[in-house]
Structures are given as structure tokens and as C-alpha cells.
Amino acid sequence: MIKTKIALFDAKAYDIESFNSTNREFGFDIKYFENRLSDDTVSLAKGFNVVCAFVNDTMDAKVIDVLKESGIDLIALRSAGYNNVDLKASYNNIHVVRVPAYSPYTVAEHAVALMLTLNRKTHKAFYRTRDNNFTIKGLLGFEMHGKTAGIIGTGKIGKCLVKILKGFGMEVLAYDKFPDEQFAKEEKFEYVDLDTLFNKSDIISLHCPLTKETFHLINVQTMAKMKAGVMIINTGRGKLIDTKALIEEIKSQKIGSAGLDVYEEESEYFFEDFSATVVEDDTLARLLSFTNVLVTAHQGFFTKEALATIAHTTLQNIKDYFADSKLENEICYKCDEKVCVKQLKGRCF
């Protein structure tokens, strides 16, 4: 029996370790490429059955055409987000599967880590005490207990965050296009419209997908509706925030602090080492210059448990495809429009 051949792009050492370990159960033939998938590297996929891609790989119409011509049957995303895939171009050409919930606790906990670090300024205290500076001036924080958190997006990650913040004794407001009122009743929080959430929240955390509707959801107009000194947390997608507008509002002190695990143009920098060079992206450099902005390089997913789940779900998705089983984690542009036929046929097309 011929083994299914997988081309895994943008492979890091931790990807190779987790996929090799999990693949003992599946027995696929996996080749790892350090290169990101793009128009320049798509030719490497020739001779494979599956392309396995991550968040900074490019799967636009041009790349998908080449993948189709090269005989690729399946794009297996090892991520929850899929905004880097042209789903209209892939429809009726190449099936696309993803990992919708690798570990919602992992990302929710990272969002809380950003909140606590920004609030209590533990990152600053760390460097002070290493220099034998034990003053606490400038490290003043606030009690999260009793404050109001606004959570935009209550999928699996957002729901985990609701539970954590309720545990801190915070009031929680939430917005979701498809609210889960039963969950809200159980956890004792309230769904509100976006304007109300912006107006009343002390901390706002983003956990919604990137769509046409949510692109630059945080912008000049929406930030004007927020409390002065509000904290903004983004562990979702970089383009949920208009970064240049955010910088201006931080400078004006309208925005009190920001914790960003993602960035609009992160594909140029995140997951790579530029410590020996100068950051040429002026917007990113400006963000990094603020003492009240904490940037982490898309590490919200990065736990042992999440990596194991990502590898297993990805390989199970591939196994299901070639076994002609129902593709539980397939996505297409009609899925977003709620008119996909998958529920009836088991596959999007």
C-alpha cells in the first residue's frame, strides 16, 4: 500500500518533534520544509498528496491553482484560523481542513497572562530587581476583582476566558454574532451589543475570527467609544486591530495598555530570529517602544498539550479524508455563510 505523502511547510523543531511522535500512530510519509508556503515555494509540493500549512503560509488563488495542478488533494491547516486561504479558489478544487480547538485553555490562559503582566507590571519588576533596583514606583496596578471585562467572541477560547475571569470576580460582558444564551445563564454573564461592551469594559479581549466584518474591528471610531485607560488584549488575529490607530490612541493615553500576541504584518517577523538586525517595520518598532504595550510573537498556542492536539487532529483529518469519512473539521467559504452542504453529505463539496 502506497503511503500518503505530506509536505509540511514552515516546519520548526517543535513541529517536527510533535508530528513525528504522533505519526507513529498514523504511519504517513511526512517531509518537512523550513520554507513558508508561497508562490515562490509552492513547486516543492509537487509529488505530494497533502500540504500541511500554518498561519503565515500563503494559499491565495495563484498558489491553490499550482497545488491543484501538482496533484494536491488536501490542504491540512494546523491552525484554527483560515484567513490566509482563498476559500473561494479552493472550493470544488481542493478540500481544506483545520484544527478548530487545539486547546482553548492554552490561548485563554495566555490572554490572562498578558492582562496580569500589563496590570501588575511584572515584566518591568523582573528587570529592575535583576539590576538590584527594588523600588516600586511606577508599578502601580489595579484590582481585577470587580472590574468589567468585555470579551468579543465566545467560541471555545472565549468561553474558557469567561470562566477564568469570573473566577477573578470580574463582571463579564460579551459579544458574539451567535450568542450562547444558555452558557451565559450558567456562567452568569451578559451578552450585549458592541457599543455597550466598548463603553463599559475596563479590559477588552478579542477572540473572534478575522472576517470582512471584523477586519479592523478596533479602529478610531470604536476606540472613541471606550473608557479612558482601557486595556486591549488580542490573541486572535492581527488585523482585528488597526495598528496605526491603536498607536495614536496609546500616545493620547486613551488606551491605557495593550497586550498583543498577534500583529497585522506579523508574517514578516514572527517565529523568526531578528535579534542581530534592525526591525525595519516602523509600525512594529513603534509598538515595541511603548512601556505599556506587551508584544508576544504569536505564542498563545504554544504549550505541550496544544502541540500534541494540533498534530493529532491534523493527522486524523488527513486519515479521514483518504478513508472517505466525514470531514468534521472541513471549512469552505459557504460554511461562513451557513449554507454549506457538509451537514448533509459529510463534506463541503
CA angle at residue 290 from 285 to 291, to 5 degrees? 135
Task: Please state, in angstroms and as integers, the Cα–Cα distance from residue 215 to each residue in 229, 241, 297, 299, following that order.
Answer: 23, 7, 20, 21
Give catalytic status of residue 128 as yes or no: no
Catalytic, out of 78, 95, 298, 312:
298
Contacts of 267 (CB under 8 A, 6+ apart): 36, 56
Catalytic status, residue 130: no
Q: Which of 78, 237, 312, 330 is catalytic?
A: 237
The reply to whether 298 belongs to the active site is: yes
Active site residues: 237, 266, 298
